[in-house]
Structure 1
Amino acid sequence: MGAAVMRARAEWLKVLARCPEAALEAALAGHDTGAAEWLRRPETGMVMLEGRAGGTGQRFSLGQATVTRATCRMGADVGVGYLMGHFPRRAELMALADAVLQGPDGPALHAALIAPQEAAQVAARTDRARAAAATTVEFFTMSRETGPRSS
């Protein structure tokens, strides 16, 4: 798998992880996913989150997070679903979508699911940023000059 393909796959996996379950169900309805062989059925577990002091300093354990993962094979393509939270059906649908996106039906599913969901996610991020920017408070500090005229 070439670097460009890996970057494209990383981008669509990022979009798939944030897709609502209903959108995944609807987009996959037109594709044959019945031949999927499950390498790993959806399962939920925990991962340790790490942080760095000051963003670049010493590592420390931040805590644990719940994740759900699934893996399937459709022909020669292996699809993965890995997302935060307890969402077995979404992980299963994500793995199926990833496998379909790697196959011959990939461009059709990309146009029907990934492109619109990516646009919606960007718009939602922009709206959140705009709402947060509207609450910004500017603080001004006035200093008194000291000198011969001050009393």
Structure 2
Amino acid sequence: MHADTATRQHWMSVLAHSQPAELAARLNALNITADYEVIRAAETGLVQIQARMGGTGERFFAGDATLTRAAVRLTDGTLGYSWVLGRDKQHADAAR
């Protein structure tokens, strides 16, 4: 079952913005195991942060931020991706 784009975006945002310890506790309490294949193990890198003066001015690069990403494929073929700010690989794994 595939949810519509807005629903998926909402839940990805909820997972990415969650506190890692709370997310882990809730996942453990549910005792749910998903059958999936890891496409990309959690890895940390840098992204450039873009901004605009006053929200409408010329675009400029404000600096860099660390980002951790991961990707999986469920048995039904659904792909799951996660990107979280920071270096917490366990959070990226749980959010995907």
> For residue 85 of structure 1, what is the amino acid of its counterpart?
G
Cα shift at 1:54: 2.2
Bigger Cα Rg: 1
> For residue 15 of structure 1, what is the amino acid of its counterpart?
V
> For residue 11 of structure 1, what is the amino acid of its counterpart?
H
Match of 2:68 in 1: 68
> For residue 64 of structure 2, what is the amino acid of its counterpart?
Q
Match of 2:21 in 1: 22
Structure with bigger RCO (C-alpha 8 Å, 6+ apart)? 2
Cα shift at 1:32: 1.6
Structure 1 runs, 4 residues or longer, greater than 4 Å off: none
Tell me, in whole angstroms, the C-alpha distance in 1 between the residues paired with 2:38 and 2:91: 15
- Residue 86 (structure 1) aligned with residue 87 (structure 2): yes
- Structure 1: gaps (5+ residues): 96-151
Tell me, in whole angstroms, the C-alpha distance in 2 between the residues paired with 1:24 and 1:73: 21
Tell me, in whole angstroms, the C-alpha distance in 2 between the residues paired with 1:67 and 1:7: 23
Give the TM-score of the pair, scaled to structure 2: 0.86
- Structure 2: gaps (5+ residues): none
The structure with the largest strand share of the pair is 2
Range moving further from structure 2, 17-26 or 57-66: 17-26
* Identity across matched positions, percent: 36
- Report Cα offsets for 1:11-67 as digits up to 9, x if no partner: 11111111122332233331123x321100000000001111221111111000100
Match of 2:59 in 1: 59
Give the count of matched residue pairs. Answer: 92
Kindly report which structure 2 residues correspond to 1:136-151, keeping only aligned pairs within 5 A, or say none. none
Tell me, in whole angstroms, the C-alpha distance in 1 between the residues paired with 2:23 and 2:71: 16
Match of 1:113 in 2: none
Give the TM-score of the pair, scaled to structure 1: 0.56
Tell me, in whole angstroms, the C-alpha distance in 2 between the residues paired with 1:5 and 1:64: 32
